[in-house]
Amino acid sequence: MKILIAGDPASSHTVKWANAISSRGIEVFVFGLGSYDKKNYDSSIKIDTFSVLTDKIKMKGDGNYTKLLYLASIPRLKEILREFKPDILHSFYATSYGLISTLTRFRPHLISVWGSDVMAFPQRSIAHKKILFYILKKADGVFATSNYLSSLVYSMFTIQCGVVPFGIDINLFSPAPKAFDKPENCITIGIVKSLEKIYRIDLLLKTFNLLVARHPDFQLKLVIAGSGTRMNELKKEAVDLGIDNKTIFKGYISNRFISREIQGFDIAVFPSERESFGVSLLEVMACGIPSVVSRIRSYEEILAKSGAAICVNESTPEAFAKEISFLINNKKIRLEMGIKARNHVVVNYDFKNNVDTLIANYTEMVRLKL
C-alpha cells in the first residue's frame, strides 16, 4: 500500500503518524509546505516540500487570506500524485492541506481535522464556513481527533467523522525513574504548551505567584516548556511578578526529549481557554503526573471520570491556586492520581491501537476502491 500524506512536515504530529504508518510496511510520501528537519523522519519516507514564502505564511492566523498563496503548490502536488501513484491521499488538517488536496481532484482522499481548522476557521466569516464545507463534503472520508471535534463537524455540516485520537507512545512517555527522587519540600509545577494566548500561560504565572506566597516552606519551581509568539511578553510578566528566579522557560523541546522534562514535574497545569484534543495532557498523564486543568470539553472527554486530574470551574488564579495547593500539601493523593493517569492512558490512548484503527480504514478504502 502507498499513502501520500499532505501535511505540515515540521509538525510533530505529521512526523509521528508518518513514521508509525511507515513502520507497518506501508510506503509513505509526505508533501508539505515549508521547512522541516529530515532527521525526524524514518529514512524510508519520501518527502517533498513547496517552500516559496510558506514559512512566513504559516505564521499568519488561521483563515488569513494570505494563505491562499498555498494554492501555488497545487501543480507540484499533482505532479507527485502522478509519479508516486498513491492508493490514498491523506490530508492532515482540513484547511490549507485539505483544500489543495481537494483541488487536485485525486481520489480516494481522506481528511483528518485537527482543531482550529474546524473550531476557528469557520467562525471567521460565512465564506470561510462555506470553504470548509466544500472541502469536507468532497472528501471520501473524514477523521477527527476527538468525539468533541466529530460532534462539532456534524453540528455544522451533518457530516459524519470517524474518531482516531493522536494517542501516546506509552513506552516513550512513562513514569520517572528513581533518579528523580528529591526532597519532599521541592515541588516542580510544569506545563508543555505553545506560548499563545488561548493556553493562558499568563494565568499560570499569576497562579504560581500566589502559590509562592502561600507555601513559604516549599521550594517551588515553575517549568514552562514550549515556544511561541508570547515568549518575551511572558518572561517580562514573570519579572514583574518577582518570580523570574523560580520560573524556567525551556523553549521548544523535541518530542523525542519532552518526556524526560515531563518526568521532572510533580504537578502539571493546563489552564487552556480551548483545546481541540489535548495531547500534552495525555503525555503528562502517561508519565504518571497528576494535573490541574480548566474545565473544557476536550479535557473532560480525555479524563472521563478517571480521577487523574482536577478540573477547575473558574478561570482565575485564585481558583487554580486553591486546587494546586491541595496537591502540594497531599503527596499521597498526587501519587494516587498519577497512577490513575498512567493506567487511563495505557487502556484508552495507546498510539499503537490508534495506528491499527487508521490502517484498518486505509485497507477498507482500498478494498472498496472509493
Please report, for the domain that includes residue 223, its CATH number: 3.40.50.2000
Residue 52 pLDDT grade (very low, low, confident, very high; cuts 50, 70, 90): low
Residue 125: Cβ within 10 Å count: 11
242 and 126 both lie in a single domain: no
The residues near 356 (Cβ < 8 Å, ≥ 6 apart) are none
Residue 180 pLDDT level (bands cut at 50, 70, 90): low
Tell me if 173 is assigned to some domain: no
> Which tens digit of pLDDT belongs to each residue from 314-328?
999 999 999 999 999
Q: Are residues 339 and 361 in the same domain?
A: no
307 in any annotated domain: yes
Same domain, 141 and 6: yes
Domain that holds residue 248: 178-348
Please state, in angstroms and rounded to a whole number, the distance separating the CA atoms of residues 352 and 17. 11
* 113 and 228 inside one domain: no
Report the C-alpha gap between 148 and 155 in whole angstroms: 11
Asked if residue 26 and residue 158 are part of one domain, the reply reads yes
Residues 41, 44: Cα–Cα separation, whole Å? 8
Res 62: pLDDT: 54
pLDDT attached to residue 254: 82
DSSP 52-72: SSHHHHHTSPTT-GGGGGGGG
Residue 294 resides in a domain? yes
* Residue 4, pLDDT above cutoff 60: yes
The pLDDT of residue 58: 53
What whole-number distance in Å separates Cα of residue 309 and Cα of residue 149? 22
**Residues 355 and 340 grouped into a single domain:** no
Total domains present in the chain: 2
Q: What pLDDT does 368 receive?
A: 85
Span 95-151, pLDDT tens digits: 889 999 999 999 999 999 998 898 888 888 999 999 999 999 999 999 999 999 999
Task: With H, G, I as helix, E, B as strand and everything else as coil, classify residue 350.
Answer: strand
**Proportion of the chain above pLDDT 70, given as a percent:** 94
Give a yes or no: residue 172 inside a domain: no
0.95 exceeded by pTM = no
Q: Are residues 207 and 283 in the same domain?
A: yes
* Cell of residue 27, nine digits: 510506503
